[in-house]
Amino acid sequence: MYMWIDKTEIEQRSLQVRQEHSIQTYGVKDIFSLIAQRGIHLIRYPFGKDKLLGFSTFFEGKKIIISNSSEILSREIFTIAHELGHVIYDFENEYNDVKIDFEITENSKDISEERAFHFANCFLMPEEEIRKYIKYELKKKHQEIGAFDIVRMQLEFQVSYAAMVVRLYEIGIIHSSHKSMLFDQRNAATSAALFKKLDADERLLKPANIIEVPPKYLEYVTSNYEKDYIPYASLEKALALIGMDAEVFKKEKQVQDEFDIEDIFEEFNL
Protein backbone atom coordinates (compact mmCIF):
# COMPACT_ATOMS: atom_id res chain seq x y z
CA MET A 1 0.00 0.00 0.00
CA TYR A 2 1.42 3.39 -1.01
CA MET A 3 2.12 5.87 1.79
CA TRP A 4 1.76 9.59 1.15
CA ILE A 5 4.58 11.84 2.30
CA ASP A 6 3.75 14.80 4.53
CA LYS A 7 4.84 17.66 2.27
CA THR A 8 3.97 20.33 4.84
CA GLU A 9 6.20 18.72 7.46
CA ILE A 10 9.03 18.32 4.93
CA GLU A 11 8.76 21.97 3.94
CA GLN A 12 8.87 23.01 7.59
CA ARG A 13 11.92 20.82 8.20
CA SER A 14 13.74 22.29 5.19
CA LEU A 15 13.05 25.83 6.39
CA GLN A 16 14.26 24.87 9.86
CA VAL A 17 17.57 23.69 8.41
CA ARG A 18 17.94 26.98 6.52
CA GLN A 19 17.23 28.90 9.74
CA GLU A 20 19.79 26.82 11.65
CA HIS A 21 22.42 28.05 9.20
CA SER A 22 21.14 31.65 9.15
CA ILE A 23 20.66 31.69 5.38
CA GLN A 24 19.77 35.26 4.49
CA THR A 25 19.86 34.88 0.69
CA TYR A 26 17.09 33.63 -1.56
CA GLY A 27 19.02 30.50 -2.50
CA VAL A 28 21.64 28.35 -0.79
CA LYS A 29 24.91 29.82 -2.03
CA ASP A 30 27.36 27.22 -0.71
CA ILE A 31 25.81 23.85 0.03
CA PHE A 32 29.26 22.28 0.33
CA SER A 33 30.21 24.37 3.36
CA LEU A 34 26.74 23.91 4.84
CA ILE A 35 27.12 20.12 4.75
CA ALA A 36 30.44 20.39 6.59
CA GLN A 37 28.90 22.71 9.18
CA ARG A 38 26.35 20.00 9.94
CA GLY A 39 29.13 17.58 10.80
CA ILE A 40 28.50 15.48 7.69
CA HIS A 41 31.50 14.21 5.76
CA LEU A 42 31.15 15.17 2.08
CA ILE A 43 33.20 13.39 -0.57
CA ARG A 44 33.05 14.67 -4.13
CA TYR A 45 34.47 12.24 -6.66
CA PRO A 46 34.36 12.07 -10.51
CA PHE A 47 32.81 8.62 -10.96
CA GLY A 48 32.03 9.41 -14.60
CA LYS A 49 28.93 10.87 -16.23
CA ASP A 50 25.75 8.80 -15.90
CA LYS A 51 27.39 6.25 -13.56
CA LEU A 52 25.50 7.38 -10.47
CA LEU A 53 24.43 10.68 -8.90
CA GLY A 54 25.52 10.05 -5.32
CA PHE A 55 24.82 8.20 -2.13
CA SER A 56 24.63 8.69 1.60
CA THR A 57 25.42 6.39 4.48
CA PHE A 58 26.15 6.15 8.19
CA PHE A 59 29.58 4.59 8.59
CA GLU A 60 31.61 4.06 11.77
CA GLY A 61 29.52 6.63 13.61
CA LYS A 62 29.85 9.25 10.88
CA LYS A 63 27.25 10.55 8.43
CA ILE A 64 28.68 10.59 4.91
CA ILE A 65 27.46 12.02 1.60
CA ILE A 66 29.20 11.12 -1.66
CA SER A 67 28.43 13.06 -4.84
CA ASN A 68 29.49 12.49 -8.44
CA SER A 69 31.43 15.57 -9.56
CA SER A 70 31.32 14.29 -13.16
CA GLU A 71 27.71 15.49 -13.36
CA ILE A 72 27.01 19.15 -14.13
CA LEU A 73 27.29 21.34 -11.03
CA SER A 74 23.58 22.18 -10.76
CA ARG A 75 22.75 18.47 -10.76
CA GLU A 76 25.47 17.71 -8.22
CA ILE A 77 24.12 20.42 -5.91
CA PHE A 78 20.60 19.01 -6.15
CA THR A 79 21.96 15.52 -5.47
CA ILE A 80 23.71 16.72 -2.32
CA ALA A 81 20.49 18.38 -1.10
CA HIS A 82 18.64 15.15 -1.89
CA GLU A 83 21.19 13.11 0.08
CA LEU A 84 20.87 15.58 2.96
CA GLY A 85 17.18 14.70 2.97
CA HIS A 86 18.13 11.04 3.32
CA VAL A 87 20.51 11.83 6.18
CA ILE A 88 17.85 13.82 8.03
CA TYR A 89 14.98 11.38 7.55
CA ASP A 90 16.54 7.97 7.02
CA PHE A 91 19.49 8.02 9.41
CA GLU A 92 17.78 9.56 12.42
CA ASN A 93 18.48 6.50 14.57
CA GLU A 94 22.12 6.31 13.39
CA TYR A 95 21.88 2.77 12.06
CA ASN A 96 24.15 1.47 9.33
CA ASP A 97 22.52 1.87 5.93
CA VAL A 98 23.24 3.27 2.51
CA LYS A 99 21.03 5.18 0.07
CA ILE A 100 22.36 5.00 -3.48
CA ASP A 101 20.87 7.25 -6.16
CA PHE A 102 21.42 6.44 -9.82
CA GLU A 103 18.60 8.78 -10.80
CA ILE A 104 16.46 11.27 -8.92
CA THR A 105 12.87 11.66 -10.05
CA GLU A 106 9.84 13.46 -8.71
CA ASN A 107 7.41 10.55 -8.95
CA SER A 108 9.25 7.77 -7.18
CA LYS A 109 7.18 4.99 -5.62
CA ASP A 110 9.77 4.73 -2.85
CA ILE A 111 8.61 6.93 0.03
CA SER A 112 12.19 7.56 1.12
CA GLU A 113 13.18 8.80 -2.35
CA GLU A 114 10.06 10.93 -2.78
CA ARG A 115 10.62 12.50 0.63
CA ALA A 116 14.28 13.28 -0.12
CA PHE A 117 13.31 14.76 -3.51
CA HIS A 118 10.70 17.05 -1.96
CA PHE A 119 13.13 18.07 0.79
CA ALA A 120 15.73 19.09 -1.82
CA ASN A 121 13.13 21.13 -3.72
CA CYS A 122 11.96 22.97 -0.61
CA PHE A 123 15.47 23.45 0.74
CA LEU A 124 17.01 24.86 -2.43
CA MET A 125 13.90 26.61 -3.77
CA PRO A 126 11.58 27.66 -0.91
CA GLU A 127 8.25 28.87 -2.21
CA GLU A 128 8.32 32.12 -0.24
CA GLU A 129 11.84 32.99 -1.45
CA ILE A 130 10.90 32.30 -5.07
CA ARG A 131 7.86 34.55 -4.84
CA LYS A 132 9.93 37.30 -3.21
CA TYR A 133 12.63 37.02 -5.88
CA ILE A 134 10.09 37.37 -8.69
CA LYS A 135 8.45 40.36 -7.00
CA TYR A 136 11.51 42.28 -5.79
CA GLU A 137 14.30 41.24 -8.15
CA LEU A 138 12.65 40.37 -11.45
CA LYS A 139 9.86 42.85 -10.80
CA LYS A 140 7.54 40.94 -13.08
CA LYS A 141 4.10 39.40 -13.04
CA HIS A 142 4.09 35.62 -13.06
CA GLN A 143 2.75 35.37 -16.61
CA GLU A 144 5.64 37.54 -17.87
CA ILE A 145 8.39 35.14 -16.80
CA GLY A 146 10.57 34.09 -19.74
CA ALA A 147 13.65 31.98 -20.37
CA PHE A 148 16.14 34.69 -19.32
CA ASP A 149 14.28 35.12 -16.04
CA ILE A 150 14.64 31.39 -15.40
CA VAL A 151 18.40 31.69 -15.97
CA ARG A 152 18.58 34.53 -13.45
CA MET A 153 16.69 32.39 -10.96
CA GLN A 154 19.01 29.48 -11.71
CA LEU A 155 21.99 31.60 -10.75
CA GLU A 156 20.34 32.75 -7.53
CA PHE A 157 19.01 29.36 -6.41
CA GLN A 158 21.90 27.29 -7.85
CA VAL A 159 19.68 24.79 -9.67
CA SER A 160 19.10 23.58 -13.22
CA TYR A 161 16.72 25.24 -15.69
CA ALA A 162 14.41 22.20 -15.59
CA ALA A 163 14.38 22.06 -11.78
CA MET A 164 13.38 25.73 -11.55
CA VAL A 165 10.65 25.49 -14.19
CA VAL A 166 9.15 22.37 -12.62
CA ARG A 167 9.27 23.99 -9.17
CA LEU A 168 7.45 27.09 -10.47
CA TYR A 169 4.77 24.83 -11.88
CA GLU A 170 4.57 22.75 -8.70
CA ILE A 171 3.89 25.76 -6.46
CA GLY A 172 1.34 27.24 -8.86
CA ILE A 173 3.31 30.23 -10.17
CA ILE A 174 3.03 29.07 -13.78
CA HIS A 175 0.51 26.90 -15.59
CA SER A 176 1.08 23.89 -17.81
CA SER A 177 1.11 25.86 -21.07
CA HIS A 178 3.56 28.38 -19.61
CA LYS A 179 5.82 25.54 -18.45
CA SER A 180 5.84 24.05 -21.95
CA MET A 181 6.63 27.46 -23.44
CA LEU A 182 9.62 27.92 -21.11
CA PHE A 183 11.01 24.53 -22.09
CA ASP A 184 10.46 25.33 -25.78
CA GLN A 185 12.42 28.58 -25.35
CA ARG A 186 15.28 26.73 -23.68
CA ASN A 187 15.33 23.96 -26.27
CA ALA A 188 15.38 26.48 -29.10
CA ALA A 189 18.32 28.44 -27.69
CA THR A 190 20.08 25.92 -25.36
CA SER A 191 21.02 26.75 -21.80
CA ALA A 192 24.58 27.65 -22.78
CA ALA A 193 23.35 30.23 -25.29
CA LEU A 194 20.97 31.76 -22.73
CA PHE A 195 23.80 32.06 -20.19
CA LYS A 196 26.12 33.66 -22.75
CA LYS A 197 23.53 36.24 -23.75
CA LEU A 198 23.31 37.28 -20.11
CA ASP A 199 27.10 37.11 -19.75
CA ALA A 200 26.44 34.80 -16.80
CA ASP A 201 28.84 32.46 -15.04
CA GLU A 202 28.41 29.07 -16.74
CA ARG A 203 29.75 26.90 -13.90
CA LEU A 204 26.28 25.51 -13.17
CA LEU A 205 26.23 24.01 -16.65
CA LYS A 206 29.54 22.17 -16.35
CA PRO A 207 30.86 19.34 -14.20
CA ALA A 208 33.43 20.27 -11.56
CA ASN A 209 35.25 16.95 -12.10
CA ILE A 210 37.10 17.35 -8.83
CA ILE A 211 38.12 15.16 -5.93
CA GLU A 212 37.25 16.78 -2.62
CA VAL A 213 37.32 15.15 0.79
CA PRO A 214 36.63 16.36 4.35
CA PRO A 215 39.47 18.39 5.95
CA LYS A 216 40.08 15.65 8.51
CA TYR A 217 40.28 12.91 5.88
CA LEU A 218 44.10 12.76 5.79
CA GLU A 219 44.35 12.74 9.58
CA TYR A 220 41.68 10.05 9.84
CA VAL A 221 43.23 7.75 7.24
CA THR A 222 46.84 8.04 8.39
CA SER A 223 45.83 7.65 12.04
CA ASN A 224 43.96 4.43 11.25
CA TYR A 225 47.02 3.14 9.42
CA GLU A 226 49.36 4.08 12.28
CA LYS A 227 47.10 2.23 14.72
CA ASP A 228 47.06 -0.82 12.43
CA TYR A 229 43.31 -0.52 11.84
CA ILE A 230 43.83 -0.59 8.06
CA PRO A 231 46.59 -2.17 5.92
CA TYR A 232 49.04 -0.26 3.74
CA ALA A 233 47.12 -1.26 0.60
CA SER A 234 44.04 0.54 1.93
CA LEU A 235 46.15 3.58 2.85
CA GLU A 236 47.44 3.72 -0.72
CA LYS A 237 43.94 3.62 -2.17
CA ALA A 238 42.62 6.16 0.32
CA LEU A 239 45.41 8.66 -0.37
CA ALA A 240 45.22 8.06 -4.11
CA LEU A 241 41.71 9.52 -3.93
CA ILE A 242 43.26 12.88 -3.08
CA GLY A 243 46.36 12.50 -5.26
CA MET A 244 48.84 11.76 -2.48
CA ASP A 245 51.66 9.21 -2.36
CA ALA A 246 51.33 6.87 0.62
CA GLU A 247 55.03 6.01 0.56
CA VAL A 248 55.95 8.74 3.05
CA PHE A 249 53.66 7.15 5.65
CA LYS A 250 54.78 3.56 5.05
CA LYS A 251 55.90 1.58 8.09
CA GLU A 252 58.54 -1.13 7.89
CA LYS A 253 56.36 -3.82 9.42
CA GLN A 254 53.01 -4.66 7.81
CA VAL A 255 49.98 -6.11 9.53
CA GLN A 256 47.23 -8.42 8.35
CA ASP A 257 44.30 -6.75 6.55
CA GLU A 258 41.54 -5.91 8.99
CA PHE A 259 39.51 -3.41 7.02
CA ASP A 260 39.62 -2.41 3.38
CA ILE A 261 38.38 1.00 2.30
CA GLU A 262 37.27 -0.66 -0.95
CA ASP A 263 34.29 -1.95 1.02
CA ILE A 264 32.73 1.49 0.62
CA PHE A 265 33.50 1.99 -3.05
CA GLU A 266 33.73 -1.52 -4.53
CA GLU A 267 30.48 -1.13 -6.48
CA PHE A 268 31.90 1.87 -8.31
CA ASN A 269 35.29 0.37 -9.27
CA LEU A 270 37.46 3.07 -7.78
What is the C-alpha radius of gyration for the chain, rounded to an integer number of angstroms? 21
In a domain, 208, yes or no: no
Q: Are residues 17 and 108 in the same domain?
A: yes
In a domain, 210, yes or no: no
Q: Are residues 185 and 238 in the same domain?
A: no
Structural domain span for residue 186: 127-202
Question: What's the pTM?
Answer: 0.82
* Type of residue at 203: R
Domain of 81: which CATH number? 1.10.10
Q: What is the pLDDT along the chain (270 residues), one digit of tens a residue?
A: 456 889 999 999 999 999 999 999 999 999 999 999 999 999 998 989 988 899 888 877 788 899 999 999 999 999 999 999 999 998 766 555 656 565 666 565 678 899 999 999 999 999 999 999 999 999 999 999 999 999 999 999 999 999 999 999 999 999 999 999 999 999 999 999 999 999 999 999 999 999 888 877 777 788 888 888 878 888 888 787 777 888 888 886 554 444 454 554 554 444
- Name the domain boundary from 89, 124, 159: 124
